[in-house]
């Protein structure tokens, strides 16, 4: 009897070790290719984790200076910033926009970003913010085009913003927030990863109150389709993309499908043709090594840009790899956004610089 | 019945369990169960019409592209030789002159030697299992038969690479070339069952054993042979020199990360390699469980310095819908030609 228990335990241990090895992608690698000429953009050096492209202004807002799972606030020597990049000409230079009336300027380390066009035509930004002590909030900023500054409107804090990663606006004061886990420390995050009991999820904030839409999962990047009827959620650790039907009136989601990408996709972008773009991490073990010690230039991880063209029923997708790098040029891609009718591409990284590429290869074939 | 003590039987059980589990786990990782392909093209691609797939492919120094093709009808034995013009994407059949009485050619692997003004083409004749050598005449697309190498070791030849006017290297993938089940085992288990041979005049010499070699290229400038191993996901660089016969001076193995199926040397010294990026899908397609499996084309530069890693660029990747199990690739001008044996895909670089 005892032997049977031991054998069962041993079998469980074996399959657990094997699943963990698969999760870490120990037998994967990337092969470099670029869609055209690629250049670095001056400006962001310590991260370009998320990009919001405002087509009405031909402008891209880029969050930079992410501080993540910080255990020693004195290690955070970099500054959190939001950069603006003019998409109408190839300047390859992004400017940091001043943020006015911030409560805690030193505690501003932006993560995910989303934008909303207000009724008067001006742009409102929703930004996931972490402080040096790894406290979380959503900052609402209005873009003043004339003075070229961001005016802080409000900071939203909520118990359900457990560990926010990305945000997507649904109105002038309402938004969806993704939590990519529940742990606040590196050890806790490791335990969450290894046990598979994820505490992340999806939270809706209606301007006053918040409630859960998804719980006990990993939610990284989130975005709506152009018609705002479909919500895409990146489950990073599970290497899948969840596709949900979104009902704005009832504030509900209904699962349509789950796409297996076999690569860890981060943040999302929807292009003019309703294709989904994402910056991905093909090899998780290298990504963890790089993200765990982001200031070490000898540690880098692979970058991958994928474009997903969904079938009409949203149950399957055709994946095109637009960009792939072993990390020496672009390390740990987090977001990919196209503009100029799909002829140009911005690739943002978690803790490094921003890459601007031309797209000279066909993507439909 | 040998009576083991409980302690000894427990040790035996757990040791065997550990060994079997480790081997099985390594096998699962080896056949790439957590990998997939993502589509990627280097430019506009299209299938060349009215042309069956490529069995062999080689180019001369002038850039002239020769290819052997097979008919889509397996029952007929209609293999042909063509010259391909990449500028207008047309092919013209080659006239073969000379040859012994009643001689017929069913071309397989081929390679070219450009030491003379009319390059010599070495062709594996699958009908006779001999190596026939032709002198090319590029003015009128004709090949003049020159000689034949005969040896029983040429049976099961996988790839050939010319080294001189009267010498060449060739590889054989397996011992069990005709036994399907055992051949599958050889494709999966990385034991060195393949052969590398060198032929010079009437002498044939086995120079090494490699696990399931699929392609060979002799680089006379670097005095090295480059051999791809499908099972080990690797490419070997073996420096060779002639003493009493030929011998390998040094050997270095580089990991490709995928299962190579062919190798072709470009003019700048880099290699174009076709790969199976997801091995289990390739195996399933061999068993006809699925109808297609992914294709991957890499450009690989092997560094002169032994300590430096390979430089690998991906040129093409497909999940099998457009081209399945690509097994030959070549560049002609600004065209990348890819074949899976039934069609030829032409991509603009």
* Contact status of A16 with chain B (Cβ, < 8 Å): no
Domain-wise residue ranges, chain A: 44-281
Mean pLDDT to the nearest integer, A118-125: 91
Nearest neighbour of B40 by CB, restricted to A3, A18, A320 = A320
Whether residue A27 and residue B35 make contact (CB cut-off 8 A), yes or no, is: yes
The answer to whether A320 contacts B35, with C-beta atoms less than 8 Å apart, is no
Tell me, yes or no, if A148 comes closer than 8 A to chain B by beta carbon. no
Q: How far is B14 from chain A (nearest CA, A)?
A: 9
**Contact predicate A209/A194, CB 8 Å:** no
HEC profile for B104-119?
Answer: CCCEEEEEEECCCCCC
**What pLDDT was estimated at residue B177?**
63
- Is B159 annotated among the ligand-binding residues? yes
**ipTM entry:** 0.86
For residue B69, what pLDDT band results from cuts at 50, 70 and 90? low
- CB burial class (10 A; 0-12, 13-18, 19+) of residue A294? buried
Look at residue B71 and tell me whether its pLDDT is greater than 60: no
Distance (Å, whole) CA A281 – CA A267 = 11
d(CA B323, CA A69): 45
Mean per-residue pLDDT of chain B:
80
pLDDT band for position B28 (50/70/90)?
confident
Chain B nearest CA to A160, separation (Å): 34
Binning pLDDT at 50, 70 and 90, where does residue B76 land?
very low
Q: Does A321 sit within 8 Å of B298, measured CB to CB?
A: no
Task: Please check if A239 is assigned to a binding site.
Answer: no
For strands A164-169 and A149-156, give the pairing. unpaired
| Chain B residue numbers touching A29 (CB-CB < 8 A) | 257
Residue B333 confidence (pLDDT): 80
Cβ distance of B25 and A18 shorter than 8 Å:
yes
Using a CB-CB cut-off of 8 Å, the residues of chain B touching A318 are: 39
Split at pLDDT 50, 70, 90, the class of B74 is very low
Mean pLDDT over the full length of chain A: 89
Q: Which residues pair with B270 in a beta bridge?
A: none
Question: Cβ of A22 and B17 within 8 Å?
Answer: no
Position A145 scores a pLDDT of 85
Q: Is residue A220 a known part of a binding site?
A: yes
Instruction: Say if the Cβ atoms of A33 and B38 lie within 8 Å.
Output: no
Greater confidence (B61 vs B130) lies with B130
Q: Which residues on chain A are in Cβ contact (under 8 Å) with B32?
A: 27
pLDDT for the residue B75? 42
Alpha helices in A27-86 (DSSP H): none
CA distance, residue B257 to nearest chain A CA (Å): 7
Whole-number pLDDT of residue B112: 79
For an interface test with B, the pick among A19, A30, A31 (most B C-beta atoms closer than 10 Å) comes out as A31
Residue B348 has pLDDT above 90, yes or no: no
The pLDDT of residue B192 is: 82
Q: Is A140 on the interface with B (CB under 8 A)?
A: no
Q: What whole-number distance in Å separates Cα of residue B313 and Cα of residue A36?
A: 13
**Cα A269 vs. chain centroid, distance in angstroms?**
10
Whole-angstrom distance, CA of residue B148 vs CA of residue B146: 7
For B42, the closest of A31, A304, A361 (CB atoms) is A361
Q: Do A262 and B29 touch (CB under 8 A)?
A: no
Is B315's CB within 8 Å of A33's CB? yes
β-sheet bridge partners, residue A336: A347
Q: What percent of chain A has pLDDT over 70?
A: 100
Which residues on A lie below 8 Å from B29 (Cβ)?
21-22, 26-27
Tell me the three state secondary structure of residue B152.
helix
pLDDT for the residue B80: 63
Asked whether A124 and A169 are in contact (CB, 8 A), the reply is yes
d(CA B224, CA B218): 6
Residue A321 has its nearest CB partner, among B17, B315, B317, at B317
Q: Quote the pLDDT of residue B99.
A: 77
Q: A10 and B14: CB-CB below 8 Å?
A: yes
- A56 annotated to a ligand binding site: no
A325: closest CA of chain B, how far (Å):
9
Pairing of strands A252-260, A240-247: antiparallel
Asked if A320 and B14 come within 8 Å (Cβ–Cβ), the reply is no
Q: Do B314 and A306 make contact, defined as CB atoms within 8 angstroms?
A: no
| Mean pLDDT calculated for residue range B315-337 | 85
Can you tell me whether residue B61 is helix, strand or coil? Answer: coil
CB contact under 8 A, A365 and B40: no
Q: Which residues of B touch A361 (CB under 8 A)?
A: 40-43
d(CA A290, CA A349): 11
CB pairs under 8 A between A and B: 69
Burial class (CB in 10 A: 0-12, 13-18, 19+), B44: exposed
Chain B residues within an 8 Å CB radius of A276: none
What residues contact B278, with CB distance under 8 A and at least 6 apart?
Answer: B32, B35, B36, B37, B293, B294
Stretch A341-355: mean pLDDT: 91
pLDDT reading at B175 higher than 70? no
Strand partners, B59: B65
CA angle A280, A284, A290 (to 5 degrees): 90
| Best B21, B34, B38 residue to mutate vs chain A (most A CBs within 10 Å) | B38
> Residue B103 has what pLDDT?
72
CA distance A220 to chain B (A): 21
Specify the DSSP class assigned to residue B40.
Answer: B
Q: Which residues pair with A279 in a beta bridge?
A: A305
Domain A44-281 - what CATH class? mainly beta
- Test B257 with A31 for CB contact under 8 angstroms: yes
**Chain B touched by A298 (CB under 8 Å):** no
Q: Which of B92-101, B171-180, B215-224: highest mean pLDDT?
A: B215-224
Q: What b-and-e string marks burial along A44-55, b requiring 16 or more CB atoms within 10 Å of the CB?
A: bebbbbbbbbbe
Quote the minimal CA–CA distance from A15 to chain B in Å: 9
* Pairing of β A354-358 and β A344-349: antiparallel
Residue with tokens 């090295």: B224
Structure tokens at B264: 């072709």
Q: Distance of CA A47 to CAs A276, A301, A332, Å?
A: 22, 14, 10
The most confident of the ranges A21-35, A312-326, B101-115 is A312-326
Residue B77 pLDDT more than 50?
no
pLDDT (average), residues B120-141: 80
| A32 → closest Cβ in B10, B34, B312 | B312
**CA–CA distance, B339 with B326 (Å, rounded to integer):** 5
Nearest to A27 among B32, B38, B44 (CB): B32
* pLDDT at residue B61 is higher than 60: no
Query: CA nearest A336: which of A62, A28, A6?
Result: A62
| Cβ within 8 Å of residue B315, ≥6 positions away | A33, B42, B272, B297, B298, B299, B336, B347, B349
The yes-or-no verdict on residue B233 having pLDDT over 50 is yes
Who contacts B68 (Cβ-Cβ below 8 Å, separation ≥6)?
B54, B55, B56, B57, B79, B80, B81, B82, B107, B108, B110, B123
Task: Please confirm, yes or no, whether A111 is among the known catalytic residues.
Answer: yes
Instruction: Provide the sign of the torsion angle of the four alpha carbons A361, A267, A51, A208, taken in this order.
Output: positive
Higher per-residue confidence, A41 vs B105: A41
- Residues in chain A closer than 8 A to B43 (CB atoms): 361-362
Residues of B in contact with A322 (CB under 8 A): 40
| pLDDT (average), residues B208-235 | 88
Return the pLDDT at A170. 92
Of A163-177, B28-42, B334-348, the range with the lowest mean pLDDT is B334-348
User: What mean pLDDT is predicted for residues B139-166?
Assistant: 83
Domains identified in chain B and CATH numbers: 34-348 (2.120.10.30)
Highest mean pLDDT: which of A270-274, B31-35, B88-92? A270-274
Lowest mean pLDDT among A134-138, A200-204, B213-217, B326-330: B326-330
The more confident residue out of A152 and A135 is A152
A113 carries a ligand binding annotation: yes
pLDDT at B97: 77
Mean pLDDT of A354-359: 94
Query: Regarding predicted confidence, which is higher, B313 or A237?
Result: B313
Which of B34, B42, B314 is the closest to A22 by Cβ? B34
**Tokens representing A111?**
């993560």
Cα–Cα distance between B163 and B149 in angstroms, integer? 14
């Amino acid at each position: 009897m005892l032997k049977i228990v031991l054998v069962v335990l041993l079998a469980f241990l074996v399959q657990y070790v094997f699943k963990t090895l698969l999760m870490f992608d120990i037998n994967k690698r990337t092969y470099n290719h670029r869609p055209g000429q690629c250049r670095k953009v001056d400006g962001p050096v310590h991260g370009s984790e998320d990009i919001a492209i405002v087509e009405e202004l031909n402008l891209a807002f880029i969050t930079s200076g992410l501080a993540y799972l910080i255990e020693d606030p004195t290690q955070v020597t970099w500054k959190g910033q939001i950069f603006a990049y003019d998409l109408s000409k190839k300047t390859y230079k992004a400017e940091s926009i001043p943020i006015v009336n911030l409560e805690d300027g030193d505690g501003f380390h932006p993560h995910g970003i989303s934008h909303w066009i207000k009724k008067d035509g001006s742009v409102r930004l929703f930004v996931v913010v972490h402080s040096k002590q790894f406290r979380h909030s959503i900052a609402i900023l209005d873009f003043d085009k004339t003075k070229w500054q961001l005016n802080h409107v409000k900071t939203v804090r909520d118990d359900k913003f457990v560990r926010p990663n990305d945000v997507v606006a649904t109105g002038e004061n309402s938004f969806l927030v993704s939590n990519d886990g529940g742990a606040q420390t590196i050890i806790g995050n490791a335990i969450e990863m290894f046990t598979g009991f994820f505490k992340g999820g999806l939270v809706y904030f209606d301007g006053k109150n918040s409630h859960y839409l998804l719980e006990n999962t990993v939610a990284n990047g989130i975005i709506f389709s152009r018609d705002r009827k479909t919500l895409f959620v990146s489950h990073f650790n599970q290497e899948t993309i969840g596709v949900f039907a979104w009902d704005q009136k009832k504030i509900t989601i209904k699962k349509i499908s789950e796409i297996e990408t076999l690569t860890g996709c981060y943040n999302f972008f929807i292009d003019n043709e309703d294709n989904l773009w994402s910056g991905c991490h093909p090899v998780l073990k290298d990504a963890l090594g790089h993200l765990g010690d982001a200031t070490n230039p000898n540690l880098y991880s692979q970058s991958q840009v994928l474009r997903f063209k969904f079938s009409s029923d949203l149950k399957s997708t055709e994946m095109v790899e637009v960009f792939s790098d072993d990390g020496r040029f672009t390390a740990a891609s987090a977001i990919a956004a196209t503009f100029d009718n799909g002829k140009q591409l911005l690739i943002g990284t978690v803790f490094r610089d921003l890459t601007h590429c031309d797209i000279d290869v066909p993507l439909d074939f | 019945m040998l009576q083991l003590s409980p302690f000894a039987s427990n040790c035996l059980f757990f040791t065997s369990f550990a060994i079997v589990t480790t081997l099985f786990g390594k096998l699962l990782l080896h056949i790439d169960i957590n990998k997939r392909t993502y589509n990627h093209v280097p430019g506009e691609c299209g299938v060349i019409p009215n042309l069956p797939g490529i069995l062999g492919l080689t180019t001369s120094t002038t850039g002239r592209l020769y290819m052997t093709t097979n008919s889509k009808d397996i029952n007929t034995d209609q293999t042909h030789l063509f010259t391909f013009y990449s500028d207008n994407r047309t092919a013209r059949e080659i006239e073969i002159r000379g040859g012994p009485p009643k001689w017929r050619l069913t071309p397989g692997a081929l390679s070219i030697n450009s030491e003379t003004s009319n390059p010599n083409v070495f062709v594996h004749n699958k009908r006779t299992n001999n190596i026939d050598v032709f002198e090319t005449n590029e003015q009128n697309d004709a090949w003049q038969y020159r000689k034949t190498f005969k040896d029983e070791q040429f049976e099961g030849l996988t790839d050939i690479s010319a080294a001189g006017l009267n010498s060449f290297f060739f590889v054989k993938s397996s011992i069990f070339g005709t036994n399907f089940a055992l051949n599958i085992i050889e494709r999966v288990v990385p034991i060195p069952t393949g052969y590398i041979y060198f032929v010079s005049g009437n002498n044939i010499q086995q120079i090494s054993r490699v696990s399931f070699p699929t392609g060979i290229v002799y680089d006379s400038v670097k005095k090295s042979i480059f051999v791809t191993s499908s099972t080990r996901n690797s490419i070997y660089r073996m420096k060779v020199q002639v003493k009493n016969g030929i011998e390998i001076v040094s050997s270095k193995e580089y990991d490709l990360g995928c299962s190579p199926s062919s190798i072709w040397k470009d003019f700048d010294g880099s290699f174009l390699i076709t790969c199976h990026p997801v091995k289990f899908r390739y195996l399933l397609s061999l068993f006809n469980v699925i109808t297609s499996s992914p294709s991957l084309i890499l450009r690989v530069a092997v560094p002169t310095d032994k300590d430096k890693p390979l430089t690998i660029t991906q040129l093409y990747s497909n999940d099998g819908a457009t081209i399945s199990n690509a097994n030959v690739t070549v560049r002609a001008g600004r065209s990348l030609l890819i074949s899976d044996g039934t069609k030829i895909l032409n991509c603009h670089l």
